[in-house]
Amino acid sequence: MSSITSGIRLAPLMVDIKADIKTFKDDMSKASVAGVAEAKKISKELSNVTKAGEKLSKAGTNLTKFVTVPLAGAGVAVGKMSMDFESSFAKVSTLLDSNVVDFNKYKKNLLKASDDSKVAVGEFSEAVYGSISAGVDQTKAIEFTTNAMKLAKGGFTDGAKAVDVLTTAINGYGLQAEDATRVSDLLITTQNLGKTTVDELASSMGPVIKMADNANFSIEELSAAYALMTKNGIATAESGTYLKQMLNEITKYGSITDKTLRELTGKGFA
């Protein structure tokens, strides 16, 4: 626990946030009288998080190609696969606009993408449905889902969770469907640098992402925070709780943290 209580450095603009929630407010009070010298010290130590964020961003650009090992499809009867697909595609078709896409061509493209990804067609169709439901353009949903399936394989999770975390990040940060690969790369890199999995991140990051965006805490920085915290022995779910506590504090105008930062640096987080 010493690595936890000794402090977790979490943001580009600097306050020493300790992981022990019981002492959180006391730590904030101490920070308010730390002085310029202490603020500089904290700033120097916290630069590691920014560097980690940059490392995540740089590492991400070439990562996806190493996570393209085909997913193992379940051995099911052809008849059942066909029934599953027809049922799943019937759901997908309710979200398609016949003025925008050709249903038969869309079905063929979906089947091909499922086959290329080595994912059961029923599961792939359900993931496409989830993608469109979450706001992905219907003309981009198959490609988006293909990327999500690669993330699912590399992140030890299923297609539905992969789609969920990608769409949550994209919607929360105001990104585009084309950013799916970059977000996937960041999640895989976070998994590799920390002690977590994409499956665990998918369950934890949802409630944190919008708060992070409101605090101008980039997805690279958020990923770096998860990597650093889990690497230091904090479970992924707990990391999410601590991050929510921190983000809630620093986005409050007039809070101890806000006053301290404005006093020492002339500006706050948000």
Tokens of 56: 């995540």
- The whole-angstrom separation of Cα 73 and Cα 88 is 17
Mean pLDDT of 236-248: 93
Query: Per the domain annotation, does 251 fall within a domain?
Result: yes
Query: Per the domain annotation, does 186 fall within a domain?
Result: yes
Count of residues making up the chain: 270
> pLDDT exceeding 90 applies to what percent of the chain?
56
Determine contact, residues 252/214, Cβ cutoff 8 Å. no
Mean pLDDT of 128-144: 98
Instruction: Look at residue 26 in the predicted model and tell me its pLDDT.
Output: 52
Range with lowest mean pLDDT among 38-42, 130-134, 136-140, 190-194: 38-42
Determine contact, residues 190/212, Cβ cutoff 8 Å. no
Mean pLDDT of 77-93: 75
pLDDT tens digits, 188-206: 999 999 999 999 999 999 9
Assign 249 a pLDDT band (cuts: 50, 70, 90).
confident
Classify the phi-psi angles of 144: left when phi > 0, otherwise alpha if psi is within -120 to 50, otherwise beta. alpha
Phi, psi of 8 (to 5 degrees): -115, 120
Instruction: Look at residue 59 in the predicted model and tell me its pLDDT.
Output: 55
Mean pLDDT of 71-96: 70
Instruction: Look at residue 250 in the predicted model and tell me its pLDDT.
Output: 78
Query: Per the domain annotation, does 172 fall within a domain?
Result: yes
pLDDT of residue 173 exceeding 60: yes
pTM equals 0.69
Mean pLDDT of 103-125: 96
Query: Per the domain annotation, does 158 fall within a domain?
Result: yes
pLDDT of residue 171 exceeding 80: yes
Query: Per the domain annotation, does 5 fall within a domain?
Result: no
Query: Per the domain annotation, does 241 fall within a domain?
Result: yes
- The whole-angstrom separation of Cα 189 and Cα 63 is 8
Best CA proximity match to 32, nearest among 234, 248, 254: 254
Query: Per the domain annotation, does 240 fall within a domain?
Result: yes
Tokens of 62: 């070439």
- The whole-angstrom separation of Cα 187 and Cα 57 is 10
| Enclosing domain of residue 131 | 80-265
Number of separate domains in the chain: 1
Instruction: Look at residue 85 in the predicted model and tell me its pLDDT.
Output: 80
- The whole-angstrom separation of Cα 72 and Cα 127 is 16
Mean pLDDT of the chain: 78
Instruction: Look at residue 107 in the predicted model and tell me its pLDDT.
Output: 96
pLDDT of residue 236 exceeding 70: yes
Residue 113 contacts by C-beta under 8 Å, 6 or more apart in sequence? 124, 142, 143, 145, 146
Report long-range pairs for 70-75 (Cβ below 8 Å, ≥24 apart): 70/117, 70/118, 70/153, 71/117, 71/118, 71/119, 71/149, 71/152, 71/153, 72/118, 73/118, 73/119, 73/120, 74/120
pLDDT tens digits, 29-68: 454 444 334 444 544 544 555 566 666 666 555 444 444 4
Query: Per the domain annotation, does 45 fall within a domain?
Result: no
